[in-house]
Amino acid sequence: MPFSCQVIGGADSERATILRALRECGCALPEGDAPADLVVRLSASEPPPRVRDWLLEGGPLVLALLPREDPETAAIALASGADDFLIWPRDKPLLRARLAVLERRRDNRRMRRESERRAAEEQVREADERYRLLFANVPDPIVVIEPTTARVLEVNDAFCRVYGWSVAEARELTVWDVAANPDTARQLLRAALERGAVGGAQRWTRGKDGTRILAELNVVRFRMGGRDLLCAVGRDVSERHRLAQELVLRDRLASVGTLAAGAAHEINNPLAYLFSNLTFVEEEVARAAPALRESNVDGAELLRALGEARQGAERIRDTVRDLKTFARPGLAGRGRVDVRLVLEAVLRMAGSELRERAHLVAALEAVPLVEGLA
């Protein structure tokens, strides 16, 4: 049916004449004027709203045919949803011309709406494509979560690369399958739902093979399809955490090295007195050997004891020197180094730990000198 024609006012015979003329002009109109057939007889006092509602659904144009010149009725017809009105013409050519104009207007409106629909669909498609490209190519793992069940709805490529699951496998997971500590994960989801967003939270997670991954998480609540969802963006900071731990350990070792260097310096001072006095005593014992023999004192035994004392002092001196070498390596210059001496120093420093656990036999043959810290 090309048009819904409203015949306002006039006698039944006049309306019948108008409808008959419309059919003769090619309008396929139903018999009668039932609202279901979109032939509505408007009342001047109460224009029904169904014509406007019907027009919003993109139906055909409405031509209000008035049997006589009546401005008030024409205004009511246009206000009620008619696209145009026409005072009943006495000749059919004028009616056909007005109907042709309205038909072209209807076709133009249909084409405009179709064009707008296609443009809207293209905008939606482009927006969806941009979202998918952005979601897929973000370098950090992204997970979309249904908060009531904690099920994983969607993941990006970075999540699959870091955690080892495929997209299909990830969609079968829950948050508890990924979180190393479900209790802290539950607290994080609850906080994100209540506040709308939680940022900078570091949580331990696990991959498909059980590898522990420290993730810095930013969780945001958003609404889609009439329900609240959560989007979690995580950055793998495991390497950064490991480096931070190493820096802490290095700082501690540096502090220990500084203390060791200070202790070595304090030991070296009395050690110099010890060596000097041992040398003096050894010389005096050797000089007084005849007198000692007359006094029944074994001078050789005294010298042997002094020699053992010297060996002990030399071990202390070597340990202090080795301790200073490892405590302050930056003070040494580069040069040719005998690897055997380095190994001997290491064995001396680790000797107390090895002595109770193993029997170590060192067979150090001559090797060429190497470039190192001398």
The burial class, CB within 10 Å (0-12 / 13-18 / 19+), for 117 is exposed
Q: Which amino acid is at 346?
A: V
Task: Round the average pLDDT of the chain to a whole number and report it.
Answer: 76
Q: What is the pTM of this model?
A: 0.48
pLDDT level of residue 143 (50, 70, 90 thresholds): very high
pLDDT level of residue 304 (50, 70, 90 thresholds): confident
User: CB of 201 within 8 A of CB of 216?
Assistant: yes
**Would you call 201 helix, strand, or coil by DSSP?**
strand
Tokens of 102: 């309205």
**Would you call 205 helix, strand, or coil by DSSP?**
strand
**Would you call 63 helix, strand, or coil by DSSP?**
strand
Whether the per-residue pLDDT at 4 is higher than 80: the answer is: no
Predicted pLDDT of residue 112:
86
Whether the per-residue pLDDT at 163 is higher than 70: the answer is: yes
User: CB of 119 within 8 A of CB of 207?
Assistant: no
- What's the rounded Cα separation, in Å, for the pair 352 and 358? 11
- What's the rounded Cα separation, in Å, for the pair 214 and 211? 10
Percent of the chain with pLDDT over 90: 20
Whether the per-residue pLDDT at 318 is higher than 90: the answer is: no
Mean pLDDT of the 195-221 span: 91
Predicted pLDDT of residue 13:
62
Percent of the chain with pLDDT over 70: 70
Q: How does pLDDT run across 209-253, given as a tens digit for each residue?
A: 989 999 999 999 999 888 899 999 998 888 888 888 888 888 877
Which ranges of 25-67 does DSSP label H, i.e. alpha helix? 50-56
Predicted pLDDT of residue 1:
41
Mean pLDDT of the 327-351 span: 71
Which ranges of the chain does DSSP label H, i.e. alpha helix? 12-24, 50-56, 71-79, 92-137, 157-163, 167-170, 175-178, 182-195, 238-287, 289-294, 299-327, 339-355
What region does 200 belong to: left with phi over 0, alpha with psi -120 to 50, or beta?
left
Q: Which residue has the higher pLDDT, 311 or 5?
A: 311
Strands 4-7 and 62-66: parallel
Residue pointed to by tokens 């409106």: 109
